[in-house]
Amino acid sequence: MTPTSSLPDRLVWDRYTLYKTGTKKIVSWLLETAAKVGFGDPHYKPTGPIAVKKMVKCADAIAKTQQSEHIPGSMIDLIDEVIRGRQAYSDLFSQRTTTQKPDPSDISHQHFIDALQGIHQTLKDARKKQKAEKNGLLSTIGLANLATPPATPISPTKPSEFSLPREHSLQSLFKNLQVDEPVAQPFSTPEKKQQQSAVPKTQPIVALDPVAESRFALLCYLEDMAEIHTFVRDMWEDVISGRTTPDCATQVTENAFACMRRGTYTLHDTFRGLGRHDVDTFFLDLNAMATAMMSRHADAVVVGERVHWHSDKTHLLCLDATLIASTAIDECRAYAASKKKRGGVYKLGETAESIAGVHPFAAALFKAIPDLHLVANPNNEYASAFYPYDGEYRMQICAAMMTQSYIDIYDIVGPDKIGDLVVDATSKFAKRLERETALRDKVVAEVRNPPSFGRPETLLEILIKQKKFLAQLQSPNLETTKSKVAAEARIAKSLLIGDWEQLKFSKWMTSQASAAIANDGWVTLGLAYLYRASRYFGLLPIEWPDMDWLIKLQSQNRSYVIEVAEHADDEAWSRHWRMAFGLPPEYIRKTNMNKITEGMRKVESQLLWPKLGEILAKAEEVLGFERGDMAEEVLHQIADIVYAKDANKKHRRGEARYTSIELLSAFKQAMTHDELELNFSYIEFWATNAKLLHQIWTFLSPRIPDMLKEHGIGVDMEIVHPLLKEAGLSVSCEAPLVGTQLAVAARMIEKHIDAHGDTFTKRAREMSSDGAGKGTWVVK
C-alpha cells in the first residue's frame, strides 16, 4: 500500500503541477486558436492525449492564417518557461556515455522539447509580424527582417537555467498562467487589468512517454525539496544570529517536514498515474548511479566520456542524507524483527556502524531507533517516516529529504549544542513559570483580601510536568535509563523538531491560564479604568505602553473599558462590575453567582494557530480526517489570512493557491506575530498592578468622602469606583479636577509608568523573533 492523504486534494503549487498545468494550457490554446482560424473542427473535444505533431501543425496554421488572431505574449513566454524546465530534465537524464545506447524515453522527451522550441519560434515570428502590421511598419520593413534567428537550444552539456532564482522561474510561470497579455501597469491595477479568459474545466493533454514524464516529475520534486531545504537552512542561520527564536524555527521546520510529506504523496500519485509504483526504488537507483559516477570522476574518467550527472545538480539527490535514511530504515526492520523473536536482542548493524561517522546526525539517528519505536509518536513528522505502512516502508525518499534538513541544522547549530537547545528552553520556561507562580502567591498574601478569583492549578500542573521533564533532560543517567519518559527526553535532545511540540503546547496553556488570572476580577480592569480616565481628563501626560497593548489586545470583540465620560452616571459602576465578568452591560443585575461565573470574561487572543486549530479538533471528531492532514489545512487557512491582500495569489486559478515556500513563509510570519503575546508575562503584569492598586487604596481610602465610599471584598472594588464617581461629579459641577483623588492617583500611576511602563512588552520582544507582534492581517 502506498501512503496517501485522507484529505481531498487541496493542491500545493509544486513545480511539476505548474509545468503540467502550463503544458495543458499550451495544448488547449493551440487547439482552440487553430480551430478559430479554420484548422480543425471547432466543436472537436479530444478524448485522449494529443500527438506532438498535431501541436506543431496547429502552430503553423495559426502563424500562416490571414485572420488577425491575436497571439498573446504570455503564451510565448509560457512556452519558453516550459521549455526551460523540461530542458533541465534532458540535461540530467538524457546523457549517456559514448558506448551506451540512447534511451528511447530520453529520445521521446527530447523530441517534445524540440517540437516546443519550433512552436515557440513559429509563434514568436508570427507575433512580431502582427505587431509590425499593427504599427503600420510592414510597408517599410522587409519581411526578411521580421524573422528572428533560430532559438538557441539550451546546451545539454551546460547547467540548465532551471535553477534560476524563483522570481525568474516559478513566478513567471504563475504570471503567464494567469493573464493573457502582460500590461505596463502593476498586476493589481484595477483600471488597466486585462479580462481573464476562462480556463476549460477539462484541458487536453499531450501524449508523452510515461517513463520520461515520471523522471521529469522526480526532478521537479527534488527541486521543490531543495527549495525547502534552503528555506529551513536560512531560518536556522537566523536562529544562530538571534533574529529567530528556536521556538519559531522548530515549529516552522515541523511544518516544512509536513510539506515534504505532502510533496512525496503527490509524487507517488503522479507515478501511479503514469503506471509506475517504484518511486523509492528509482530514487535509490539514481543515488547509487550518481555515487558511482562521482567515484569514477575521483579516480579519472576515460577521455571522451561525458559526465552523466552535473556537479551543480548532485546536491538535489542528497546523497549522504539518502545513505543515512535508507540505512536507518534497514535498522528499523532489524529492530522490528528482533522484537518479534522471543528473547531477541537488537544490535546496530555493521553497515550502520560503518557509516555512523559520515555525519554526527547519523550517529544520533541510529542511536534513537529503539526510542522512536518505544515512544511511537505518529504526530512527529520525521519519526513517522520510519514507521511502516502495512508492514512496508514506502517513504524512503521523504525520509531522505527530511534527513537533509536535520543534517543542515546539526551543521548550523553544532552537534554538541543541539541537545542544549531544548534543555535551555525548558529550563528558562520552568524558571519563569516558577517565578510567576511564586509572585502570584506573594501578592495574594500581601494585598488585603484576594484581589482575584483566578486559580493557578493549571500553572502548577504545567510547572510540575516541566520540572520533571527538565530533571530527565539533565539526568546524568539519561543514556542508560530504560523508561518511556527517558526515551522522550533522549529524542527531544537529538531529534528536537517534532518533540518541541509539547513545549509549545505547554507555553500556550500557560499563556491562556496566566491571561485568565490577569483578566479575572477587577485588578487589571480597574487600573485600566483609572489610567484611561486620567488620560481622558488630562491628569496623566504620558502613555502606558504595557497597559495600552493589553487594552488593544483585549478589545478585539468588545471594549475592554467603557466610555470614561459615562462614569458620572449612577449606573456606571454596575456596568463596570458586570463587564469585569465578561457580561454585557444590559445583563440583569440580580442573578446568582454561579450563572455569573459561567459567563466570566474570556481571554481575547490574536494567536492564529490555536484559533484555527478548532478546525482541526472538529475535523478529527466529525469528519475523521487525520491530524497531519488537518494541520496542513490550518497552514492553508493561515496563508489565506496572511496573504489576504496579495492580489497575485488571489488570482491564481484552480484548487491550489500557494507553493510550499509560501505556506511556510506565512506560517513563520504568524508564529513570529504570536510570540509577543505568548511571551508577555500576564501574571507579573497583574501582580505589579495589584500592588499599585493596593498602594493607591492605602494612600487614598482615608481621603474618600463617606458618601462615596463603597465596601467590597477587595481593594480593587473599594477604590476604583469612588475615584471615578468623584471625578464624574466634579465634571458635572464644572469643578476643577486637580483637587480630586483621581488626580492624586494619576500622579502615582505616572510614577509607576516612569519606572515600569514598558517593562513587560519590552521583555516579551527580547524573548521573541524580530518583528514579533507585527502583522497587517485581522483574525476573525
- 225-239 pLDDT, tens digit each: 999 999 999 999 999
Name which of 53-62, 352-361, 461-470, 619-628 the model is least confident about.
Answer: 619-628
Is the distance from CB of 646 to CB of 657 less than 8 angstroms? no
Confidence of residue 525 (pLDDT cuts 50, 70, 90): confident
In the predicted model, is pLDDT for residue 256 greater than 90?
yes
In the predicted model, is pLDDT for residue 3 greater than 70?
no
Q: Number of structural domains, the chain?
A: 6
Report the pLDDT value the prediction gives residue 152, as an integer from 0 to 100. 40
Q: Is 151 exposed, middle or buried (0-12, 13-18, 19+ CB in 10 A)?
A: middle
In a domain, 107, yes or no: yes
Phi first, then psi: give them for residue 389, nearest 5 degrees.
Answer: -105, 115
For residue range 534-546, list pLDDT tens digits in order.
Answer: 888 889 999 999 9
Based on the fold, state whether residues 668 and 624 are members of the same structural domain. Answer: yes
Amino acid at 389: Y
Mean pLDDT calculated for residue range 52-61 = 88
3-class DSSP state for residue 309?
coil
In a domain, 506, yes or no: yes
3-class DSSP state for residue 348?
coil
In a domain, 112, yes or no: yes
Amino acid at 185: Q
In the predicted model, is pLDDT for residue 198 greater than 80?
no
Query: Which residue reads 524546465 in cell numbers?
Result: 85
Query: Which residue reads 543515512 in cell numbers?
Result: 324
Based on the fold, state whether residues 401 and 292 are members of the same structural domain. Answer: no
In the predicted model, is pLDDT for residue 465 greater than 60?
yes
In a domain, 600, yes or no: yes
In a domain, 460, yes or no: yes
Based on the fold, state whether residues 301 and 355 are members of the same structural domain. Answer: no
Is the distance from CB of 178 to CB of 651 less than 8 angstroms? yes
Based on the fold, state whether residues 141 and 47 are members of the same structural domain. Answer: yes
For residue range 547-586, list pLDDT tens digits in order.
Answer: 998 888 777 655 666 544 444 444 554 555 454 444 444 4
Mean pLDDT calculated for residue range 642-671 = 78
Residue after which a domain boundary falls, among 316, 334, 362: 316
Quote the percentage of the chain above a pLDDT of 70: 69
Based on the fold, state whether residues 584 and 713 are members of the same structural domain. Answer: yes
Backbone φ/ψ region at 414: left (φ over 0), alpha (ψ -120 to 50), beta? left
Cα distances (angstroms) measured from residue 301 to each of 308, 367, 710: 11, 39, 95
732-737 CB contacts, 8 Å cutoff, 24+ apart: 732/568, 737/537, 737/538, 737/539
Confidence of residue 211 (pLDDT cuts 50, 70, 90): confident
Based on the fold, state whether residues 567 and 699 are members of the same structural domain. Answer: yes
* DSSP sequence for 518-574: HHSTTHHHHHHHHHHHHHHTT---S--HHHHHHHHHHTSSS-SS--GGGGGSTTHHH
Say how far apart CA 160 and CA 315 lie, in whole Å: 15
Confidence of residue 661 (pLDDT cuts 50, 70, 90): very high
Based on the fold, state whether residues 600 and 618 are members of the same structural domain. Answer: no
What DSSP designation does 50 have? B
For residue range 685-734, list pLDDT tens digits in order.
Answer: 999 998 999 899 889 988 877 766 766 656 666 788 788 778 877 877 88
In a domain, 308, yes or no: yes
Residue with the larger pLDDT of the pair 757 and 156: 757
In a domain, 10, yes or no: no
Residue with the larger pLDDT of the pair 477 and 190: 477
Residue with the larger pLDDT of the pair 634 and 266: 266
Q: Is 640 exposed, middle or buried (0-12, 13-18, 19+ CB in 10 A)?
A: middle
Say how far apart CA 15 and CA 228 lie, in whole Å: 12
Mean pLDDT calculated for residue range 623-636 = 59
The three three-digit cell numbers of residue 175, written as one number: 504570471
Based on the fold, state whether residues 374 and 267 are members of the same structural domain. Answer: no
Report the pLDDT value the prediction gives residue 138, as an integer from 0 to 100. 47
Residue with the larger pLDDT of the pair 753 and 654: 753
User: Range of 370's domain?
Assistant: 319-413
Query: Which residue reads 513528522 in cell numbers?
Result: 381
- Exposure on the CB side of residue 234, measured as CA atoms within 13 A: 11
Amino acid at 417: K
For residue range 366-410, list pLDDT tens digits in order.
Answer: 999 999 888 877 778 888 888 877 677 778 899 999 999 999 999
Mean pLDDT calculated for residue range 586-601 = 41
In a domain, 98, yes or no: yes
Within 10 angstroms of residue 612's Cβ, the number of other Cβ atoms is 21
Report the pLDDT value the prediction gives residue 734, as an integer from 0 to 100. 81
Report the pLDDT value the prediction gives residue 179, as an integer from 0 to 100. 36
- Residue 218: which of 121, 154, 286 has the closest Cα? 286
For residue range 480-516, list pLDDT tens digits in order.
Answer: 898 888 998 999 899 988 778 778 888 888 888 888 7
3-class DSSP state for residue 474?
coil
Based on the fold, state whether residues 591 and 471 are members of the same structural domain. Answer: no
Is the distance from CB of 655 to CB of 35 less than 8 angstroms? no
Confidence of residue 605 (pLDDT cuts 50, 70, 90): low
Residue after which a domain boundary falls, among 388, 413, 438: 413
406 contacts: CB under 8 Å, gap ≥ 6: 361, 365, 382, 495, 497
Is the distance from CB of 326 to CB of 406 less than 8 angstroms? no
Report the pLDDT value the prediction gives residue 526, as an integer from 0 to 100. 82
In the predicted model, is pLDDT for residue 206 greater than 80?
no
Dump strand ranges (E) for 58-144.
Answer: none
Based on the fold, state whether residues 195 and 65 are members of the same structural domain. Answer: yes
Report the pLDDT value the prediction gives residue 147, as an integer from 0 to 100. 46
Helices 501-519 and 418-446, interaxial angle, to 10°? 20
Based on the fold, state whether residues 224 and 168 are members of the same structural domain. Answer: no
Cα distances (angstroms) measured from residue 91 to each of 16, 77, 172, 252, 309: 17, 21, 22, 34, 8
Residue after which a domain boundary falls, among 289, 316, 343: 316
Phi first, then psi: give them for residue 339, nearest 5 degrees.
Answer: -75, -20
Mean pLDDT calculated for residue range 276-299 = 74
Q: What is the mean pLDDT of the chain?
A: 76
In the predicted model, is pLDDT for residue 28 greater than 80?
yes
Is the distance from CB of 643 to CB of 666 less than 8 angstroms? yes
Based on the fold, state whether residues 760 and 706 are members of the same structural domain. Answer: yes
Mean pLDDT calculated for residue range 86-103 = 61
What DSSP designation does 680 have? S
What DSSP designation does 147 have? P
Query: Which residue reads 512496508 in cell numbers?
Result: 392
Report the pLDDT value the prediction gives residue 10, as an integer from 0 to 100. 53
First-last CA distance in the chain: 41
